[in-house]
Chain A
């Protein structure tokens, strides 16, 4: 059973639907005991880093997620959920993240040419940097769907794939049992579903 962490940020309908589609049991929950009882954790998120981090802290689930991740339970952060895994974010200020993966979240405007549009929105190809169990059913060059204006920086050691957008932008990260993807697997067609299946099979 996968716990989809419900901490009041964004709607979880699509992510829950995508897991159901591939026959994986999942539950949307904000309850600490339920999250502890599940064998995997999925951390979604859309919107602003500050609000999400504040809501996670206010619910006390930040501690639960950190403890569970440190105990070795597989954790996957999606989009803003991935960004929350890092030490800190510079999205309109400076805010602390969960600190599960060393690195920081910075504006993509700092690294891409000025003539490119922001946000980085649409389908982009994955370029693998390191092998990952999440890539079991997908291949180099497969397209996934991105929507973001900030990205994971100073985390090179943990980057497993990037997407080229005037600069190589972090597409996925991994540190032991902690995984993150900047793109939306639940909106990336069969490729995204295949990645979620690989996570479910860990």
Chain B
């Protein structure tokens, strides 16, 4: 049976990982290559790299870094941030990305999902959504969660999946950073309407939050987090062993 996936997310700015503390045996915690290898060795099932640089110069540094990661890390790599056109897809796929995550770019130009899915296949296109409750509905936010688009999240996600998004990353703005667990209610609403894999993001504060996620929502495929991994609050190898012990299908390395 297929395992549930644990995915660390790395924000990269000017070629360096933003946020990061000292890990034992890691000489440079801000190096995307070193941190990527570290997580891969610990059993991460996939890595997500978000390019948060705005300049075109930063873009070039990012793709150079990505290439270097792909030369050294042999698990699936997803890349997001600044993906607005098919050329952007091309740029990161050529550097070793396996999947490309679209967010604001798809909101500005919804046909991006369909065009990319046609050219590269559904499995390559990940729709990432920042969602927040507004007046009793789930609303899509753009620009890193700062701008209310007015779009109903469930409609947007259903549309994205039918246009060819092969996976959904659902980031709950309501639970993000709160560290009291994933947004089970919001995730359940999304799992009920799409058949493609759903990746939960936002809210994990401890190992038990992942156990609750997979127990409450058997349809969720993966749990994604950033700071709790980067700050060493949760270790991926320990997390996966704990989940496996509790009956969640997990891939254990070593």
Contacts from A to B (Cβ < 8 Å) = 11, 13-14, 17-18, 20-21, 46-48, 117-125, 143, 145-147, 164-165, 186-190, 192-193
- B75 and A187: CB pair below 8 A? yes
- A143 contacts which chain B residues (CB < 8 A)? 3, 251
Give the interface size bracket for B toward A: 20 to 34
- B3 and A121: CB pair below 8 A? no
Q: Out of B70, B72, B166, B221, which one reaches A13, CB within 8 Å?
A: B70
- A188 and B93: CB pair below 8 A? no
Q: Out of B5, B71, B167, B197, which one reaches A17, CB within 8 Å?
A: B71
Least distance between A151 CB and chain B CB atoms (Å): 14
Q: Count the A-B residue pairs with Cβ separation under 8 angstroms: how many?
A: 80
Q: Out of B71, B98, B123, B253, which one reaches A190, CB within 8 Å?
A: B253
Minimum CB distance partner of A191 in chain B = B253
- A188 and B74: CB pair below 8 A? yes
Contacts from B to A (Cβ < 8 Å) = 1-3, 5, 40, 45, 67, 70-72, 74-76, 93-96, 98, 120-123, 166-167, 195-197, 221-222, 251, 253
- A20 and B74: CB pair below 8 A? no
Q: A143-B3, A187-B75 are in contact. Are A14 and B195 (CB under 8 A)?
A: no
Q: Out of A117, A123, A146, A193, which one reaches B197, CB within 8 Å?
A: A117
- B98 and A14: CB pair below 8 A? yes
- B75 and A17: CB pair below 8 A? no
Minimum CB distance partner of B253 in chain A = A189
Least distance between A43 CB and chain B CB atoms (Å): 18
Chain B at the A interface: SS class: loop
- B96 and A17: CB pair below 8 A? yes
Least distance between A89 CB and chain B CB atoms (Å): 15
| Cα separation A192 to B75 with both chains bound (whole Å) | 9
- A189 and B75: CB pair below 8 A? yes
- B67 contacts which chain A residues (CB < 8 A)? 13
- A13 and B75: CB pair below 8 A? no
| Cα separation A165 to B233 with both chains bound (whole Å) | 33
- A123 and B251: CB pair below 8 A? yes
- B71 and A145: CB pair below 8 A? no
- A47 contacts which chain B residues (CB < 8 A)? 120-121
Q: Out of B3, B5, B71, which one reaches A21, CB within 8 Å?
A: B71
- A165 contacts which chain B residues (CB < 8 A)? 1-2
Minimum CB distance partner of B121 in chain A = A47
Minimum CB distance partner of A193 in chain B = B74
| Cα separation A47 to B166 with both chains bound (whole Å) | 13
- B70 and A14: CB pair below 8 A? yes
Q: Out of B3, B74, B122, which one reaches A189, CB within 8 Å?
A: B74
- B3 and A46: CB pair below 8 A? no
Q: Out of A18, A20, A123, A193, which one reaches B2, CB within 8 Å?
A: A123
- A20 and B71: CB pair below 8 A? yes
Q: Out of A18, A122, A125, which one reaches B74, CB within 8 Å?
A: A18
- A11 and B94: CB pair below 8 A? yes
Beyond A187-B98, A188-B74, A192-B74, list 16 extra A-B contacts (CB 8 Å). Answer: A13-B70, A14-B74, A17-B74, A46-B121, A47-B120, A117-B196, A119-B122, A122-B222, A123-B45, A145-B76, A146-B2, A186-B74, A187-B75, A189-B40, A190-B253, A193-B74
